[in-house]
Amino acid sequence: MPNAPTLATLADDLESGRTTSRKLVEACIARIADPAGEGQRTFLHVDKDAALAVADAMDGLRKAKAAPSRYAGIPLSIKDLFDIKGQTTRAGSRALDDSDPAEHDAPAVARLRKAGFVVIGRTNMTEFAYSGIGINPHYGTPKGAWNRAEGHVPGGSSSGAAVSVLDGMAHGALGTDTGGSCRIPAAFNGIVGYKPTQRRVPLDGTVPLSFSLDSIGPLARSVSCCAIMDAVLASEPIVALKPRPVKGMRLAVPTTIALDDLDPEVAETFERTLKTLSDHGGIIERIEMAEFHDIGPMNAKGGFAAAESYAWHRYLITAKGDVYDPRVAVRIMRGEAQSAADYIDLLNERRSLIARVNARIAPYDALVLPTTANTPPKIADLADDKAFTTQNLRALRNCTLINMIDGCAISLPAHREGNVPVGLMLAGAGGSDRRIFELAAGMEAVIRV
């Protein structure tokens, strides 16, 4: 996002006195409240008074040279999937309206607060995080970056998270990613989204979709912004990111499944990006990934998402199924037909898949592939359930490959200014988070030139 402030530049401005946390928060609140903007569909709750009070506190601590971190006072948005003390976590649904307010912040939220970030509000999302498109029939659907007059989807499930960053309603966003829910909305809105190695960030205090696949990650304006937030979320030191030079990068392009049925704009942008990386000295190798063929059969009965979401929802959906989004309910209910044996088979098959894929990609620094097969479809075109299902699966397909192998991945904007947003995904085996950030930071400077 050219000329948009990053967490680093905002921290510099706060440190120098060029701005204050109160000014940053007031500006975000004004953008949320703008009747001509997307704020009313992007946020389900804005904690104006608390955000301003925290902003004033951070300004006071900074004056006393006691700020908890360099980034203290910067406002962030929180996906409606996370517990925030004193608030009801609805997960983008009406079925949880009468739930008790949370007694504690989710650990991910608590860690951001501890670093001094200001929680400005809760963002809209696909109900119960169960779609890569971002449509919400209960609270409305925020329009994505592309061609707003027509209204294109924002991507999901962290739809409001992406739009909050895109429109300057927050300077970073906390999201989740089960099959692309950080990376898809990032790709559809021309920002950066990160899915970490799952075990690095605790899932406590979140409404689950899939215990096996859920990950907690950031959406922001740059690779460095995501790396800063990721370090805080993982309770690791914030270390300056050193971009790796593109020259000498060993990058594998999986030709199995990941390049099938791409929209022309996605295919063109992806090939241009590969050429750019090659021209800068990157070593690009196209490889078959036969292991990816196993993922479709593994998910034929709904996979982990259906089995594990049904386990969590089975009583709630019996009592309140009439208020669920029907497109979400039907996917959850696929889990009812899975047996214990089916689920144990899934666990064993996934262990084998991870081991085989990790061995295949070990010689490379990273996999590189399009984040989504499609560009953001029009909201109006998805009124038909068949069209919705087709586009949802196309959005989720490539990202899901990485969740299934327990990997980590980042989506970078790869399109040129003025063109439809297209994301480039860089992915690695679980535990390679720092390397993926360094590679992405090196690519970020060259791929859109």
Task: Give the CA-trace dihedral at 245, 246, 248, 251, to 10 degrees.
Answer: 130
Give 189's contacts (C-beta < 8 A, 6+ positions apart). 144, 145, 154, 155, 162, 163, 165, 166, 421
Confidence band for 448, pLDDT divided at 50, 70 and 90: confident
> How many whole angstroms separate alpha carbon 297 and alpha carbon 346?
10
Pair 203, 214: CB distance under 8 Å: yes
Whether 444 shows a pLDDT value over 80: the answer reads yes
| Digit-coded pLDDT (tens) for 226-274 | 999 999 999 999 999 999 999 999 999 999 999 999 999 999 999 999 9
Please, what is the average pLDDT of the chain? 98
Q: 3-state DSSP call for residue 413?
A: strand
Helices (H) and strands (E) in the chain, counts: 15, 11
Confidence band for 1, pLDDT divided at 50, 70 and 90: low
Q: Give strand pairing partners of 75.
A: 118
Q: Is 159 exposed, middle or buried (0-12, 13-18, 19+ CB in 10 A)?
A: buried
Pair 155, 179: CB distance under 8 Å: no
Give 229's contacts (C-beta < 8 A, 6+ positions apart). 7, 76, 112, 172, 174, 218, 220
**The pLDDT of residue 354:** 98
**Cis upstream peptide for 157 (omega within 30°):** yes
**The pLDDT of residue 252:** 98
> How many whole angstroms separate alpha carbon 382 and alpha carbon 387?
6
Average pLDDT on 371-395 reads: 98
Average pLDDT on 362-372 reads: 98
**The pLDDT of residue 60:** 98
> How many whole angstroms separate alpha carbon 134 and alpha carbon 143?
9
Place of tokens 């969590």: 312
SS (H, E, C) 43-108: EEEECHHHHHHHHHHHHHHHHCCCCCCCCCCCEEEEECCECCCCCCCCCCCCCCCCCCCCCCCCHH
Pair 374, 263: CB distance under 8 Å: yes
Give 147's contacts (C-beta < 8 A, 6+ positions apart). 420
> How many whole angstroms separate alpha carbon 267 and alpha carbon 422?
9
Average pLDDT on 33-57 reads: 98
Task: Indicate if the alpha-carbon torsion angle 217, 221, 227, 231 is positive or negative.
Answer: negative
Q: Give strand pairing partners of 173.
A: 77, 219
**The pLDDT of residue 3:** 77
CA nearest 446: which of 224, 244, 185?
244
**Cα angle for residues 22, 24, 26 (degrees, 5° grid):** 65
The alpha helices in 128-181, defined as continuous H runs, are: 159-166
Average pLDDT on 147-166 reads: 98
CA nearest 28: which of 3, 10, 1?
10
Pair 183, 399: CB distance under 8 Å: yes
Of all residues in the chain, the percent with pLDDT exceeding 90 is 99
Which tokens go with 332? 């959850």
| Digit-coded pLDDT (tens) for 294-323 | 999 999 999 999 999 999 999 999 999 999
| Digit-coded pLDDT (tens) for 181-229 | 999 999 999 999 999 999 999 999 999 999 999 999 999 999 999 999 9
Q: Which amino acid is at 331?
A: R
Whether 34 shows a pLDDT value over 80: the answer reads yes
Residue 5 Cα to chain centre, angstroms: 19
- The catalytic site residues sit at 79, 157, 181
Whether 2 shows a pLDDT value over 90: the answer reads no
> How many whole angstroms separate alpha carbon 24 and alpha carbon 21?
5
Average pLDDT on 116-121 reads: 98
| Digit-coded pLDDT (tens) for 388-412 | 999 999 999 999 999 999 999 999 9
